[in-house]
Amino acid sequence: MSDVAIRVDGLGKRFSINSRQESYQTLRDTLANAALAPFRAVKSLATNNDDGPADHEDIWALRDVSFEVKTGEVVGLIGRNGAGKSTLLKILARVTEPTEGSAEIVGKIGSLLEVGVGFHLELSGRENIFLNGAILGMKRADIKRRFDDIVSFAEIEKFIDTPVKHYSSGMYLRLAFAVAAHLEPEILLVDEVLAVGDAAFQKKCIGKMEEVAGEGRTVLFVSHNMAAVQSLCTRGIFLHNGSISTDSTAAAAISAYLRMLEQSVSQDLLHRTERRGKGDIRLAKLEISTGATDRSQTLATGRPAVFVFHLTNMRPRTSCIFTIYDDFGQPLATFNSAVRGPEDAPDPALETALACYVDELPLVPGRYRLNVAISSDNELQDHIEGAAFFEVEQGALRGRAVIKGKGYGRVCLQHHWKLPV
Amino acid sequence: MARPTSTALKGNRDATQIVFIKPSKGWVSLDLKTLWEYRELLYFLTWRDIKVRYKQTFLGAAWAILQPVVSMLIFSIFFGRLVKVPSDGLPYPLFCFAALVPWTFFANGLNQSSNSLISSANLLKKVYFPRLAIPLATVLAGVVDFILAFIVLLVMIVFYGVRPTINIVWTPLLLLLALVTSLGVGLWLSALNVKYRDVRYIVPFLIQIWLFSTPVAYPSSLLSEPWRTVYGLNPMVGVVEGFRWALLGANTAPGLMVLASAAAALIILITGALYFRYMERTFADVV
């Protein structure tokens, strides 16, 4: 038997931008267009000019992607949002069709693009296990056989006959993941489902994934969590702008990805093309410094930090949300200007900028990056991943030295001890 | 390159399943085989629809009965009493209720299946399965409502002292005809609805027009023969007149008319299923 589990050959997927933003049309417009078409044709003949560029433009979300995965390999797919990871997974899961190319999958596929698909709030936990299991492709007999395992994995024995609308969000996610975790496919396609639930549950999920990987099953795993990719995957594929940029070991793919993120930082923010949002307001410049007195660029643990976001223009009710990530892509903290605190104040000197002040930076020495989102009136205007990188040097938090130690967390908290004499 | 492996593996296909993924072009087969493989999912989706319907609605089962009963009362007052529409010699309430029971099944199935893909958008975007299962499950779930209303119809038949004939055995086939029609139109509309979101505004209007072009409130015996058969091209004409004939012994043996209805219903179903399959490839991207 051939040991190739997945073979992808020149796969490509095209979206038209038109159909991306407003995916559906109305029959009314289509009929009206059809009725007016002859008039337009006559008009363009008469004026003898083209109507300029076509009113929709095509984007290749995925282009010319080829690779093979051997049975038993655990492959991490990494890349930015919009790099094509999820599109690739969706094609392999047969949710959407490719525009060109082909793929061949040998073995029983289980795809987990989201946990809890098809869950119905009115139905009980028991009913949802059967429904969701069937949706994920399990046979009724299999679900019955594994029912007790699923319930105990989810830790919801007492509530199994309660409608899931009465579940806490944690219970809901545990149940959803439990069903998925008991699929027994030969090939598993997973999309970022581990990023749910509390830490203990995440650990359990990762454990389950390790178990699956250890059983010699083939796994294709999309994640933004570099730590998870590093520890789970034997191989990494880094997708960039819809094609494979690096296909190597997990470590090599991760470092290629991080290098790309850093390189794009050197670009002028306005020249960055990989951004989402409406675009009426855009992030033009991002300044990170230690504050007004000494405008040092180098941040240090326990020292002040100021993040200044310069926008192209300003509108009322514009807010800025940014998140600090560690170098493994783990989010550490989010800041949101729309949520007001008593110390927030207007500053006439800012004009089209927003500034965020952190009095004592509670991050251990290391490298961090920022994702920034700008919105106005609850509408996303701009979103840039990896808008900036910054380095934190060794320092002290209220006089207590903070030492970097691998695996002991990235955040430090102000604290004190009481000790015996 | 891919060929040798796959043919080599075809030998033990029972053990290993191979999936080929490539862009599909033009019209595609209905692929009823895959639908059959997913029959358990179809069962669960139907079961979910039934469960949810009877759990959520305050009135529960009463709703399934109330809907045709209220229509019957209104029709009996306005058409039966005031306008004095002929009713083939049958008591008017019974005459129109025997038509309203399959009609309600048809109209609800049509209405719900045409919205079924939109309301299952998340499912379409995240999991693979034959998409035909969604509208099919919706229409099938309506059978429970039908059975409840049908029991009321049987009670009314006894109440009015009508003796059913042996023709009652045709009822399941007539129900099937209503189901085929409902599903056929539902497939057309659900697939259109994904692409053109204003289709849902057309559906209630379509149902209303269809109701009045179907002999629910009046008998088709108002027409004479060649025209009655032509009238049967509206599949619901065959269903409604068939119900009256099978259950109430109306002297309107539908014959040719039902054949015309069955042919029309099959054409709607097959073209609907083909169009649905043609559009299916874009559902996940558009919905």
User: How many residue contacts between A and B have a Cβ separation below 8 Å?
Assistant: 135
Q: What percent of chain B has pLDDT over 70?
A: 91
For residues A276-286, average pLDDT: 88
Instruction: Please judge whether B122 and A130 are an interchain contact, meaning their C-beta atoms are less than 8 angstroms apart.
Output: no
Give the β-pairing of A109-112 and A187-191: parallel
A102 contacts B127? CB cut-off 8 A: no
Q: Do A27 and B192 count as a contact with CB atoms less than 8 A apart?
A: yes
* A105·B21 Cβ contact <8 A: yes
Write the CB contacts of A355 (distance below 8 Å, at least 6 apart in sequence).
Answer: A306, A307, A308, A309, A347
pLDDT value at A102 more than 50: yes
pLDDT bin (cut points 50, 70, 90) of residue A27 is confident
Domain ranges of chain A: 14-59, 64-262, 274-402
**Between chains, do B19 and A104 touch, taking CB under 8 Å as contact?**
yes
HEC string of chain A equals: CCCEEEEEEEEEEEEEHHHHHCCCECHHHHHHHHHHHHHHHHHHHHHCCCCCCCCCCEEEEEEEEEEEEECCCEEEEECCCCCCHHHHHHHHCCCCCCCEEEEEEECCEEEECCCCCCCCCCCEHHHHHHHHHHHCCCCHHHHHHHHHHHHHHHCCHHHCCCEHHHCCHHHHHHHHHHHHHCCCCCEEEEECCCCCCCHHHHHHHHHHHHHHHHCCCEEEEECCCHHHHHHHCCEEEEEECCEEEEEECHHHHHHHHHHHHHHHHHCCHHHCCCEECCCCCCEEEEEEECCCCCCCCCEECCCCEEEEEEECCCCCCEEEEEEEEECCCCEEEEEECCCCCCCCCCCCCCCCEEEEEECCCCECCEEEEEEEEEEECCEEEEEEEEEEEEEEECEEECCEEECCCCCCCCECCCCCCCCCC
pLDDT of residue A88: 93
A86, A108, A109, A122: which to substitute to probe chain B, counting the most B Cβ within 10 Å? A122
CATH of A64-262, one of 3.40.50.261, 3.40.50.300, 1.10.10.10, 1.10.1740.10: 3.40.50.300
**Taking a C-beta distance cutoff of 8 angstroms, is the pair A108, A14 a contact?**
no
A113/B127 Cβ within 8 A: yes
The partner residue sitting opposite A131, judged by closest CB among B9, B44, B124, is: B44
pLDDT level of residue B7 (50, 70, 90 thresholds): very low
Residue A173 binned pLDDT confidence (cut-offs 50, 70, 90)? confident
Of B20, B56, B197, the CB nearest to A26: B197
Query: Measuring CA to CA, which residue among A389, A359, A377 is closest to residue A266?
Result: A389
A301: confidence class by pLDDT, cuts 50, 70, 90: confident
Closest residue of chain B to A88, computed from CA coordinates: B21
Residue B101 and residue B158: Cα distance in Å, rounded?
16
With cut-offs at 50, 70 and 90, classify the pLDDT of residue B4.
Answer: very low
Mean pLDDT for the stretch of residues B246-250: 81
CA distance A402 to A362: 9
Q: Which CATH architecture has domain A274-402?
A: Distorted Sandwich (2.70)
Distance of alpha carbon A92 from alpha carbon B128, whole angstroms: 10
Q: How far apart are the first and last CA of chain B?
A: 35
Whether B100 shows a pLDDT value over 70: the answer reads yes
User: In chain B, where are the structural domains located?
Assistant: 30-286
Q: Is B51–A123 a contact, with Cβ atoms under 8 angstroms apart?
A: yes
Give the confidence band of A303 by pLDDT, cuts at 50, 70, 90.
Answer: confident
pLDDT bucket at A273, cuts 50 / 70 / 90: confident
Tell me which of A391 and B107 has the higher pLDDT: B107
Q: Which of A285-294, A333-342, A382-391, B180-189 has the lowest mean pLDDT?
A: A285-294
Nearest to A27 among B20, B196, B281 (CB): B196
Cα four-point dihedral sign A272, A275, A279, A283: negative
Whose tokens are 């008319």? That residue is B257
Query: In the predicted model, is pLDDT for residue B68 greater than 60?
Result: yes
The CA angle A189-A194-A200, to the nearest 5 degrees, is 145
- pLDDT range class, residue A333, cuts 50, 70, 90: very high
Q: A358-397 pLDDT, tens per residue?
A: 989 999 888 888 999 999 988 899 998 888 888 888 888 8
Is residue B166 very low, low, confident or very high in pLDDT (cuts 50, 70, 90)? confident
| Contact residues on chain A for B21, CB-CB shorter than 8 A | 91-92, 94, 97-98, 102-105
CA atoms within 13 A on the CB side of B48: 30
Six-digit token pair at B129? 């399965």
Of A26, A100, A104, which is closest to B18 when you measure between CB atoms?
A: A104
pLDDT category at B251 given cuts 50, 70, 90 is low
Q: Do B22 and A102 touch (CB under 8 A)?
A: yes
